[in-house]
Structure 1
Amino acid sequence: MRLSARKAWHDAFYIPKDDALARARTPKKKAEEKGPKEPGQVYSQGWYRNLYEETEKGRVLSGRKPLVTASDSLKGGYDFFERWDAMWRSRIQAAIKTLPKPLRSFGAIMYAPATEFSAEDCERVHEYLQNEFFKALDKDRLLAMQGKRIVRLKLLMYAAMRHHRDVVFGGGSTLGGPAAISRFLYHLYGERLPSVQNWAEHWAADWDKMLGILDVMERKALAPVANEIGLMSEEQEGAA
């Protein structure tokens, strides 16, 4: 089992136990614990594990492995950063940097820790969503559409982004239905959606299109991350 691309994105930017109290509470390793005391025992040095074996000449270095192997990834209880060292984390970040800005911003607001994205990221994703949504609309319908509805559709896109992020984090959407979506828009932007009682007729089709565009953005944004995870997995299996 491999880490998901979503979790890899998040944990590549997440540094656990980064407060001073956490560091103070962490027990320090004794100097004598750095080296193996028994044949076959391993310990971390740099970006690899040094493998030792006992010979007639004493303990000798027999090889090295990456810090995380395929079998290690089956173990729970640790986050990506704690299990994988800075080299793997930097490879995930490098894969993310190959994406165009709208997709990097999409991943930042959907997967990264809250401190890692900005209002600019949100606006960049919103602008991309607008372009894709209105580009796909029938031209006659768009020309006949009232300006007020266009404004409300643009606001509804913010709700779609929020919905997608809620689902990504596994807690279910905080926007539980049309009425909750309308309240969300009113509290944040001072605008209510009319006719939410007839959601299926007035808004459902547009809402589904927005979510569909976000799903496509997600597949594109996660593709290089998933590819890098696959490459690292192959390297680990080859080194095992």
Structure 2
Amino acid sequence: MSWFGPNPKVTIVDPDLAKDVLSNKFGHFEKLKVPVLSKMLGSGVASHEGEKWVKHRRILNPAFHLEKLKRMLPAFSTCCEELVSRWAAESLGSDGSCELDVWPELQNLTGDVISRTAFSSSYSEGRRIFQLQAEQASLVMTNIRKIMIPDYMKMRRNNREVESILREIIGKRIQAMERGEGTKDDLVGLLLETNMRDDMGMTIEDVIEECKVFYFAGMETMSVLLRGRWWCSACTRSGRTARGRR
């Protein structure tokens, strides 16, 4: 057990017990509330509870159905092809090999994928949101245990810019939908389509918060997963053999 300010924290290392806590539906285990994290990084479905969680989960679910994800494969492929092409053009030495720190590269890759799948045609604005959210995460984690007046001012500026960009993108999408134009197969389009079709009552602010959380959670989890998979592959016999040939 440890303390986060005046709040006790219990760290569970038993996988079975952790599974029981995470799958518990009785509400005995409340989500940890850290206001500064919610304010600066987003307060979407990951932090909601009760009826609000049920409503947002119902709206978000269609975005992750298999058929919807299949339509995003071209965006995934484009991001990976661009990454490999850039490595070949910028990093390879005269002997056709190089040493490369892949961790920041994988973070950028997941940011590119999220930007394309969340905003499609608004990719450049999405890329800027990714950069700001990554900086926000770094500032929050660095300063979370201390008074951070200078950094807090910078975080507020970043937060205002993120919300301004998202509000503009969402406003354009709503206008296009009102003109009868088809929605795009991206996160913003699916959120707005489901919300307007089923009258779910999600506000523009709710959509903005869900997009912010989607960036932060998606970037961290996927980049860590990719790094772990690469490491496991490199540790296998076939991976070591391939590395030796290169």
Q: Report the TM-score, using the length of structure 1 for normalisation.
A: 0.29
Structure with the larger strand share: 1
Where relative contact order (Cα < 8 A, 6+ residues apart) is larger, the structure is 2
The TM-score normalised by the length of structure 2 is: 0.29
